Amino acid sequence: MRARIKKNFFNTFAFISVVTLILLRILLLPNGTHLDSFFLLVPLWIAVVYYLKLKSNVSFFLSITLFVIWVIIIPLGFKTLQSMLNVWSYTLFALGVLQLLYEEINEEKR
C-alpha cells in the first residue's frame, strides 16, 4: 500500500514539476533562445510522458491552453512572451500528434 502511494506521489510530482519548468521557462526567460527548450525541456517532457504513460490528450490540452493564453496576451503587446508561447504551443501540439500516431500504431499491433 505504501509503495503504491509513493509511486502515485512521484508520478504526480514528476508531471507537475515538468509542467512548472515549462511555464517558468516561458514566463521568466522569454528572451532566451529556443534551443535550450528543445535540448532540455522537450526530452524531459518526452521522458515524463513515456514513464507515466500519459495519453496524447495531455499534450493537446497543454498546447491548447498555451494557445488560449497567447490569444489573450496579443492585445497586451508582449512580443517575446507571445513568441515563446507560440513555440511551446506548437511544440506540444507536434508532440501530441506524434504520441497519437504512436498510440494508434500500438493499438493496431494488439
Could you tell me how far CA 71 lies from the centroid of its own chain?
A: 18
| Residue (of 96, 67, 101) closest to 84 by Cα position | 67
The CB density around residue 18, as the number of other CB atoms within 10 Å, is 18
Residue whose C-alpha cell reads 512572451 in the numeric block: 81
The DSSP call for residue 33 is -
Average pLDDT over residues 63-72: 91
Mean of pLDDT over the chain: 79
**Which of 19, 55, 21, 52 minimizes the C-alpha distance to 36?**
21
Residue 34 phi, psi (nearest 5): -85, -10
pLDDT score at 7: 60
E strand or H helix at 2, and its extent? helix 2-28
Look at residue 95 and tell me whether its pLDDT is greater than 70: yes
pLDDT for 50 beyond 80: yes
Q: Is 3 a residue whose pLDDT tops 60? A: no
